[in-house]
Amino acid sequence: MKLLPTRKSVARGAASSDDSLGRGAEISVSVGIFLVIGLVVDNSLGTRPIFTIVLSLFSLLGSFARMWYVYDGNMQVQEAKRRNAATSHIQKQAIQIKSPR
């Protein structure tokens, strides 16, 4: 006897951080990891804030660069879709003119 309906599986993309919450968590975790690595290196070498600041900034810059490239790639895909949608009627007319009846 089946009392509850079965759930349909949701197909997700291959991108791990496709939503804003995921990207925010990814940035905060990576900055935290590099912060801890910087603290460990500073404590072992006796150079208190240098590596902590440098590695944290490195992580932030890397995260923002990655966000920019992902954004730029997504915008290029959207521009291509809009361009194709805007010129699809011209392509259809060209095909109709070329095809003999």
pLDDT digits (tens, 9 = 90+) for 18-43: 678 888 999 999 999 999 999 999 99
| Token pair 């997700």: residue | 12
Whole-prediction pTM: 0.65
Alpha helices in 17-87 (DSSP H): 20-45, 50-86
pLDDT score recorded for residue 22: 86
Cβ(42)–Cβ(48) under 8 Å? yes
Q: Is residue 7 part of a domain?
A: no
Q: Is residue 9 part of a domain?
A: no
Q: Is residue 76 part of a domain?
A: yes
How many independent structural domains does the chain possess?
1
pLDDT score recorded for residue 17: 47
Q: Is residue 12 part of a domain?
A: no
Q: At what angle do helices 50-86 and 20-45 cross, to 10 degrees?
A: 160
Q: Residue 51 belongs to what domain range? A: 21-95
Q: Is residue 42 part of a domain?
A: yes
Q: Is residue 48 part of a domain?
A: yes
